[in-house]
């Protein structure tokens, strides 16, 4: 299956609103791109840059030299600030300094903070002063998973672009996949994860295993067998646990399982804590045993 991201982007409100701003010669100097799906946000951000710099009359053409530069991150007038985990005062200072430098190849320079929700309040206030004094040749784009992470004083100065849910389009793409609903559930509708799971031959086994923990895990006698599954798939333990969390949540929400619904929230918390522990390099066997025991104990409490 070849994914046509351009077609999917055209279904996104954020993309269409930005294109409309461009076509109406009504671009803002400050945009706030908002959406939970980071991969889709980045795709839309890339499309926005292509619209700004594309030399074709039909924008974005995805073929011209400028579109290729954006695709390969080679446009000298597009600059990124901060990392995946932080945007600090030094980044804010660099961004401010760049505002004072003329564009190198055209009339516009675009300065981007790809993870603006990682900014501390003090840093945001420093950025606010920059936004208040932007030269006409500069556009600033902040990309965030949730706008509540950005100070109201900054939000008020920015035009908001919301990345809408494209669940309908994803369902259409997966219409011939017998695991469509399971994939959409365990990807949380995130486009990159939907694509990955749709190609993962192990996914159905992991999903069925997660269901078995709720429906076919009657006693501690089964503990060894369930633990063995994790050992056999040790390279995918975090993926299995994430699928388990989505399966538990879905069963709790829709009352699909014979497992006591009132016990499921504690099971979700146990899996969540387990994932955090694994990210800190805790003993894998101990983490898995703890999760399995919690599932058994919660079930027995409700008998």
Give the Å distances, CA to CA, from 188 to 122, 224, 242, 250: 33, 30, 11, 11
Q: Is residue 237 part of a domain?
A: yes
The Cα 201–Cα 206 span in angstroms is 10
> Which pLDDT score, from 0 to 100, does residue 302 have?
63
Domain limit, last residue, from 113, 140, 164: 164
256/65: higher pLDDT: 65
The mean pLDDT value for 190-217 works out to 91
> Which pLDDT score, from 0 to 100, does residue 2 have?
57
Residues 123 and 268 in one domain: no
For the cut 60, the answer to whether the pLDDT of residue 1 exceeds it is no
Residue 204, domain extent: 200-301
Q: What percent of the chain has pLDDT over 90?
A: 63
User: In degrees to the nearest 10, what's the CA dihedral of 139, 143, 144, 145?
Assistant: 150
CB 185 within 8 A of CB 157: no
Residues 218 and 278 in one domain: yes
Could you report the per-residue pLDDT of 118-160, keeping only the tens digit for each?
A: 888 889 999 999 999 999 999 999 999 999 989 999 999 999 9
> Which pLDDT score, from 0 to 100, does residue 154 have?
94
Domain count along the chain: 2
**Token digits for 73?**
């991150």
For the cut 90, the answer to whether the pLDDT of residue 39 exceeds it is no
Residues 16 and 157 in one domain: yes
For the cut 60, the answer to whether the pLDDT of residue 6 exceeds it is yes
The Cα 51–Cα 55 span in angstroms is 9
Residues 30 and 139 in one domain: yes
Is residue 191 very low, low, confident or very high in pLDDT (cuts 50, 70, 90)?
confident
Q: Is residue 190 part of a domain?
A: no
49/189: higher pLDDT: 49
Q: Is residue 189 part of a domain?
A: no
C-alpha Rg value of the chain to the nearest Å: 23
Could you report the per-residue pLDDT of 250-287, keeping only the tens digit for each?
A: 888 877 666 777 788 889 999 999 999 999 988 999 99
Could you report the per-residue pLDDT of 75-114, keeping only the tens digit for each?
A: 999 999 998 788 888 999 999 999 999 999 989 999 999 9
For the cut 70, the answer to whether the pLDDT of residue 213 exceeds it is yes
Task: Report whether the peptide linkage leading into residue 16 is cis, meaning its omega lies within 30 degrees of zero.
Answer: no
Residues 145 and 213 in one domain: no
Residues 18 and 111 in one domain: yes
Q: Give the pTM.
A: 0.78
> Which pLDDT score, from 0 to 100, does residue 11 have?
84
> Which pLDDT score, from 0 to 100, does residue 4 have?
73
Residues 83 and 209 in one domain: no
The mean pLDDT value for 220-238 works out to 90
Residues 66 and 158 in one domain: yes
Is residue 178 very low, low, confident or very high in pLDDT (cuts 50, 70, 90)?
very high
Residues 230 and 153 in one domain: no
> Which pLDDT score, from 0 to 100, does residue 151 have?
93
């Amino acid at each position: 299956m070849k994914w046509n991201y351009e077609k999917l982007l055209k279904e996104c409100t954020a993309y269409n609103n930005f294109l409309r701003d461009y076509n109406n010669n009504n671009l803002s100097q400050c945009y706030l791109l908002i959406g939970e799906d980071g991969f889709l946000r980045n795709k839309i951000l890339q499309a926005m840059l292509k619209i700004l710099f594309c030399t074709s009359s039909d924008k974005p053409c995805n073929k011209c030299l400028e579109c290729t530069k954006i695709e390969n991150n080679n446009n000298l007038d597009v600059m990124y600030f901060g990392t995946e985990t932080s945007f600090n005062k030094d980044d804010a200072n660099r961004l401010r300094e760049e505002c004072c430098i003329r564009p190198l190849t055209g009339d516009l320079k675009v300065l981007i903070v790809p993870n603006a929700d990682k900014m501390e309040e003090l840093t945001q206030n420093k950025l606010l002063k920059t936004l208040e004094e932007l030269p006409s040749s500069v556009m600033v784009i902040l990309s965030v998973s949730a706008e509540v992470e950005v100070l109201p004083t900054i939000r008020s100065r920015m035009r908001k672009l919301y990345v809408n849910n494209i669940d309908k389009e994803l369902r259409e793409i997966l219409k011939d996949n017998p695991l469509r609903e399971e994939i959409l559930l365990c990807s949380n509708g995130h486009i990159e994860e939907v694509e990955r799971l749709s190609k993962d031959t192990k996914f159905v086994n992991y999903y069925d295993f997660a269901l078995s923990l709720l429906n076919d895990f009657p006693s501690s006698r089964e503990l060894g067998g369930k633990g063995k599954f994790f050992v056999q798939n040790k390279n995918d333990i975090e993926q299995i646990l994430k699928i388990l969390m989505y399966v538990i949540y879905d069963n709790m929400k829709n009352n699909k399982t014979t497992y006591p619904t009132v016990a499921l929230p504690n099971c979700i918390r146990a899996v969540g804590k387990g994932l955090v522990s694994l990210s800190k390099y805790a003993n894998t066997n101990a983490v898995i045993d703890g999760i399995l025991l919690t599932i058994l104990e919660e079930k027995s409490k409700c008998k």
